[in-house]
Chains A and B, each alone.
Chain A
């Protein structure tokens, strides 16, 4: 019987894909089988449009123990018998539909990804994008998402140590909610999500299975959507308490040596979890859905296989170890149920009691078709690249503009967000949210520390997908380097529109190329990632927004640096070339806020970036610096002002700003720059180190006092700037 278009639409497969399935299995699939294909061939699980492009990322490195794609996340060695695993993932569509649960379950999902590796989750970060806060809908989405992250993250005892939150009209109706989790893994504890031993059992741990989240992968995450109300049942509801006990039980089981493997249940639920384990192990599976504990009566095999009910993990255990594993889960009162076995014949058989409900070859199932449709350079690019820059404003406005920029929700302190997250539990957090460019976590086990940052700027990628992509990698790594850490590796979340549109495909292709080049230039492999396509509403794609999570290592935790000026009379220096021309204003917050325009062509010199980052790490290691802060949103003047208000220490400039446009000198966003402060007696050593590293270095002035002064342009009281910076977001929320 030919399948109806309606059925295909429901599982988001094309007619051509259906025909491909029929030709591969040499018959029509039944309904359950079609559901399995729909899930595994979805963009979310199958990476149909992105996999060929993602191959451009460098994935190997000296410290990389497990590469991206091999497992849930790559594994990076940090010495002392320890490794880190980390990954970032999107929950954009669920959050647009139901912000609290959408964001909460995004946190839960990424935590289980890390847990599945046998690693203890030690930190969360998140990257959020919303439409402007002047509409009630956007405020509702913002409040709901922050409350959801807070509600879930706080309950599971994993500190939320950093992130970024930005606002732009393009994200109205399609917020971006990306969550990153970092886990710590003692060597030897690594779990593989592979079912390699025929005869072993599949044990399902945690929550009962309900109808929530069916078609989450194929529906919500793999196509655009307009009718949000209709989608509400596809959003899952989280139970963070169960997640917390699941973490403890799974880690105890992983450490016991009793498991063959472990896998989380995420997008496409049991289907992707079981099939991917068997595919990795080169085995087959027999699953009986009648054994799966249910939340509701009357669920069909199709629904059980595709449910995305939260807080479930899959364990693969040899029969002789089952009792011992069961004792661990009993102690934690976490339900554990045997639902099937590993077989040796490469076939997936799904039973419903005695009845065979589906029978498909696993290799066929997990081999989604791959598309490389080719892109078209969007026409808007040339217009924006050649658009004349608005003339400089009256310099008398400099102080007012600085205050406005500090108070703008994109620049202002995110205290209203991070104070709702427990960022100190597990007592590792040395540099706390808001205090530095990266969060710094000590490793109690060894005297080292990790630096963690997430970054992305959709505006820049929209203006130039290649350069913007490179800049996202550069900034995330720069943030880590500014805290004193050597960037080790990155994870990425690519938030784009519909890849079947040639302009969107071009953005994706170019952006990945730029990111990959930046990774190579900075020596950081990509160890994990996630692709979120179809971020569109009313046919309009969001800004192409890659978000990069960077992890760096400090050999000595005591070298960690914050962004705040630390002492009166410290010298303040600018590292990096700082042109004051039209080009520096490209895509800047100043242009958007003051001139209402997004234009220009951003540029980056990746070699200069690498030199700056090496210099920052070297200066921190020599303990020459009191603070370091990169120049990003709002440019040099904002970076200086932030260091001042964070430290409660003023600043007086020496009057040697770069020649050119005063507004570009103060607010231009040329990358590869950092503001550092040091003892006056060390300034000459810092300058010498910069010379040796080939990084331009300029003495900007002196920290101290209660005013913030840039001669001839800005003379503001520190208290006024602090009020703008710390109160800006709350005022925007309450306006």
Chain B
């Protein structure tokens, strides 16, 4: 059985086609768009919230999207342990929805940044990073104006202790430095998971580096990790 991926489409979402092409075209798995007005996502094994400017990102990025019908269904899907990955605007929506801790503020430079970026893998775990090594450096680009991660001291201590920090911005050699931080994020945090580990948000764009023609394949490794986890899940269910 091949896994089935749902790619959420809000008005203003623009990485939807890129995710579909990555999952369907490169990974070879089934993909469907899920329009924001839909209320049933039970047919999917994994949900993706792509990048973009959902509802124009008016008020705050992700602030309006959290009230859309599909988000209620997505929350239930996540609560039941279904894997959810949100990139860029998807990360913002997940934080605004309370599915992930912390918040994403305006970049410290006050400017949009689209550039190559290195990430250090902080935690190796299913379903998102099982195929990586701890401390490994991935090259996955960023493209955002509001990626400055913040959490209060208590939250930060808690997510550190729980191992919820998935990726940090780093330099090519893996050093987590101020210079390698593209947006002012607290402790260079680039991606976090929920406590159960089945919801991941990250600012970088894995779907943009899934083929050598696009300049790299490190993003594909996240997709392959998810796919492996889904296969194990379906095997254990059928067993």
Query: What is the interface of chain A, defined by CB distance below 8 A to chain B?
Result: 147, 150-151, 154-157, 239-242, 244-245, 248, 331-333, 418-427, 429-430, 432, 442, 444, 557-558
Contact = CB atoms under 8 A, between A and B. Distances in A.
9 contacts: A151-B112, A157-B14, A241-B57, A241-B58, A424-B205, A425-B14, A427-B214, A557-B213, A558-B213
Residue in B14, B15, B145 whose Cβ sees the most chain A Cβ within 10 Å: B14
B17 A426 contact: yes
A244 B143 contact: no
Interface stretch (B48-56, B72-80, B164-172, B193-201): B48-56
B208 A155 contact: no
A155 B207 contact: no
Given A155-B53, A155-B56, A241-B56, A424 B143 contact: yes
A733 to B, nearest CB: 12
Given A424-B208, A425-B18, A427-B21, A244 B114 contact: no
B53 A430 contact: no
Residue in B17, B114, B145 whose Cβ sees the most chain A Cβ within 10 Å: B114
Residue in B21, B22, B56, B112 whose Cβ sees the most chain A Cβ within 10 Å: B112
A430 B215 CA distance: 7
Nearest to A421: B114
Contacts of B11: 241, 244-245, 248, 332-333
Given A154-B145, A332-B11, A422 B112 contact: yes
B141 A424 contact: yes
Contacts of B51: 425
Contact of B112 (A150, A240, A241, A444): A150
A116 to B, nearest CB: 20
Contact of B56 (A240, A425, A557): A240
Contacts of B14: 156-157, 244, 425
Nearest to B16: A157
B115 interface: yes
B111 interface: yes
Contacts of B145: 154
Interface in B34-72: 35, 51-53, 55-58
A160 to B, nearest CB: 9
Contacts of B208: 424, 427
Interface string B83-123: 00000000000000000000000000001111100000000
Q: From DSSP, what is the main secondary structure of chain B's interface residues?
A: mixed
Nearest to A153: B112
A429 B214 contact: yes
Contact of A427 (B18, B111, B114): B18
Contact of A422 (B17, B25, B143, B214): B143
Given A239-B56, A424-B141, A557-B213, A419 B207 contact: no
Nearest to A120: B17
Contact of A444 (B21, B58, B114, B207): B21
Contact of A420 (B53, B112, B207, B214): B112
Contacts of A156: 14
A155 B115 CA distance: 17
Nearest to A239: B56
A430 B145 CA distance: 23
B112 A425 contact: no
B215 to A, nearest CB: 8
Interface in B188-239: 205, 207-208, 213-215
Contacts of A444: 21, 25
B115 A419 contact: yes
Residue in A147, A240, A331, A426 whose Cβ sees the most chain B Cβ within 10 Å: A426
Contacts of A425: 14-15, 18, 51, 143
A154 B115 CA distance: 13
Residue in A248, A332, A557 whose Cβ sees the most chain B Cβ within 10 Å: A248
B12 interface: yes
Contacts of B113: 419-420
A430 B18 contact: no
Given A424-B114, A444-B25, A558-B213, 10 more contacts: A156-B14, A245-B11, A245-B12, A420-B112, A421-B112, A421-B114, A425-B15, A427-B207, A427-B208, A429-B214
A155 B12 contact: yes
A239 B58 CA distance: 11
A151 B56 CA distance: 11
A155 B12 CA distance: 7
A422 B215 CA distance: 16
Contacts of B112: 150-151, 154, 420-422
Nearest to A242: B56
Contacts of A147: 111
B97 to A, nearest CB: 20
A730 to B, nearest CB: 12
Contact of A442 (B17, B53, B57, B213): B213
